Amino acid sequence: MKVSVITPSFQNSDWLKLCVESVADQGQALQEHIVQDACSTDGTADWLKKEARVRAFFEKDEGMYDAVNRGFDRAQGEILAYLNCDEQYLPGALEKVVKFFERNPQIQACVGDTVVVDGRGNYLCHRLGLVPGKWGTWVRFPVVTSSLFFRRSLWANPDVRFDVRWKIFGDLFFVLNLLQRGTRFGVLPEFLSVFSDHGENLYLRAKPEEVARRQKAAPNLVRIFYPCLLASYGLRILLRGGLAVRPFSYAIYSPASVGRRRHDAIRPSLFWAGRSRWKKAPDQALRKKPN
C-alpha cells in the first residue's frame, strides 16, 4: 500500500520546490508525486522538466480543484492525497498514514493534525483533525486538506470529484459529498503536515461573493442550531486534548537552509495569529513568499 500525492501548481515555483522536497523524502510509502501545473510562466516548467522525483503535467485547467481532479485521475497509489505548493509533509507522515489504513481496513478516509506556520516556518498554531459530521462541518470545517487521505477505491465512483464551480471552498463540499455517501472517516492523532500562512494563500483570501454563496448553501437546520453545533465542536476539540498539547518540535524545508530545519512550538495554541480576534496579526514581513 502506497500513497499518490497531487500538487496543483501555478506561478508558485519557490514554494513548490520546498513542497517537493517534503514529499520526496517520505521513503517507500510514496507511490508518486504528481504536479499539475497550469502552464506557469515563472520558470516552474523548466524546473519541473528536470525534476525526476515528480510526474509533471502541463495543461490549462479551471482552477485548483480541476487540477486536483486531473491528478487523482492519473494516480496509481492505493491511497490518495493532495498537497498545495505552500504546504509540506512532516518526516515519516506517509508511513504513518499507510500503517493507519493497514490497521483499520474499515476506514475509507482519515484526517490528521496540522501545524500552521508563518512565511519563515515559525510556529503560529496547530489544528487538530476531527471526524467530520454532516451538520457540524458547515459550522467549523474540522479538516485541513494537507492532512486528509483517502482510499483510491472512493475515487472509482465518478460522482466523487471536487466541484470546480468552487474556487475556495471545494474541499468543504468534497468532504460533505463523501459524508453523504456514507464514507467512514478516522482520525490519525499525529502531526502530519504543515500549512504556511504567508499572507498570499488562496484559501485565506476568499472573495465575499463566494463566502456568501457558501453561507447560502448551508441547510436551514445548521442556521437554527448554529450555537449548539459550535459548542459541540469546542467540546470535541477539548476531548481530543486541544488545550493540553505539550511543547513539540517539527522539521520543515525552508529557502534559507539545506535539508529540513527544526522549529520549536514552545507554547502550543489553537488560536491562529492574525486569524483570530484573540491575537494580533503577524508581522507583515513574515507573510511574504520566500525569495
Q: Residues 90-132: pLDDT tens digits?
A: 999 999 999 999 999 999 999 999 999 998 999 999 999 999 9
Output the pLDDT for position 13.
87
Structural domain span for residue 146: 3-287
Q: Residues 124-171: pLDDT tens digits?
A: 999 999 999 999 999 999 999 999 999 999 999 999 999 999 988 999
Percent of the chain's residues with pLDDT above 70 = 91
In this prediction, residues 188-215 reach a mean pLDDT of 84
Q: Residues 267-282: pLDDT tens digits?
A: 999 988 666 433 444 4
In this prediction, residues 17-46 reach a mean pLDDT of 96
Residue at 237: amino acid letter: I
Q: What is the CATH number of the domain that holds 211?
A: 3.90.550.10
Bridge partners, 196 (sequence order): 117
| Structure confidence at residue 283 as a pLDDT band (50, 70, 90) | very low
The count of structural domains within the chain is 1
Output the pLDDT for position 290.
41
Distances (CA, A) of 100 to 58, 96, 205: 33, 6, 34
- The cell for 81 is 492525497
Kindly give, in sequence order, each residue whose CB lies less than 8 Å from that of residue 43, ignoring residues fewer than 6 positions away: 13
Q: Residues 58-92: pLDDT tens digits?
A: 999 999 999 999 999 999 999 999 999 999 999 99
Position 12 pLDDT exceeds 80: yes
